[in-house]
Amino acid sequence: MLSKKTKYGLKALTFIATRESDLPVQVSVIAKSEQIPQKFLESILLTLRKSGILGSKKGKHGGYYLRMEPLDIKMTDVMRVLEGPIAMVPCVSLNYYEKCDDCPDEHKCSVHKLMIEVRDSTLKVFRNTTLADLSNTNG
């Protein structure tokens, strides 16, 4: 299930990407437009800024802006920043692999095999989807 953090992050990124102006967008504007609690949104945007997806500017005309074109922001990157591992179980994760404690042999495990298929299908969608796709912008 998608966390509210990730859902709100995607909505905020899409909002920023669809703005007519290249000026930074204030948190309060995004929060009001997308109906996201402002304090929670501030935390999400800070996470996206630390990851390099967003930049920020302080001051009267400050706010957040995209550091890349929407066409260059892949959903795999956004999902990993906000949601963590894409795989549903750690034994099939590409970036956060951990052996399951309750599994003696993951190569014979039916859950492992199924979760590899789920991971691969999910990755295909995320790798082939950019912020431009979500926001209908051409970059």
User: Which of 41, 66, 91 is the endpoint of a domain?
Assistant: 66
Residues 6+ apart with CB under 8 A from 88: 115, 118, 119
User: Does the residue 87 lie in any domain?
Assistant: yes
Same domain? 62 vs 79: no
Instruction: Give me the residue label for tokens 């299930």.
Output: 1
Q: 62 and 36 in one domain?
A: yes
b vs e for 43-67, b when ≥16 Cβ sit within 10 Å of the residue's Cβ?
ebbeebeeeebbeeeeeeeebbbbe
Q: What is the DSSP string of 57-71?
A: E-STT-EEEESS-GG
pLDDT per position as a tens digit, 20-52: 888 999 999 999 999 999 999 999 999 999 999
Same domain, 20 and 55: yes
Is the pLDDT assigned to residue 57 strictly greater than 60? yes
* Residue 138 binned pLDDT confidence (cut-offs 50, 70, 90): low
**Domain-located, residue 94:** yes
Residue 79 and residue 130 in one domain: yes
Residue 77 lies in a domain: yes
32 and 50, same structural domain? yes
Domain span holding position 24: 4-66
Per-residue pLDDT at 3: 94
- 76 with 126, same domain: the answer is yes
| Residues 9 and 41 placed together within one structural domain of the fold | yes
- Domain match, 60 and 106 both: no
| Residues contacting residue 37 through CB under 8 Å, at least 6 positions apart | 31
Say if 59 falls within a structural domain.
Answer: yes
pLDDT at 107 exceeding the cut of 90: no
Length of the chain: 139
Number of neighbours of residue 118 by Cβ within 10 angstroms: 14
Q: Is residue 97 part of a domain?
A: yes
Q: Which helix (H) or strand (E) covers residue 96, if one does?
A: none
Same domain, residue pair 28 and 82? no
Which of 20, 47, 66 is the endpoint of a domain?
Answer: 66
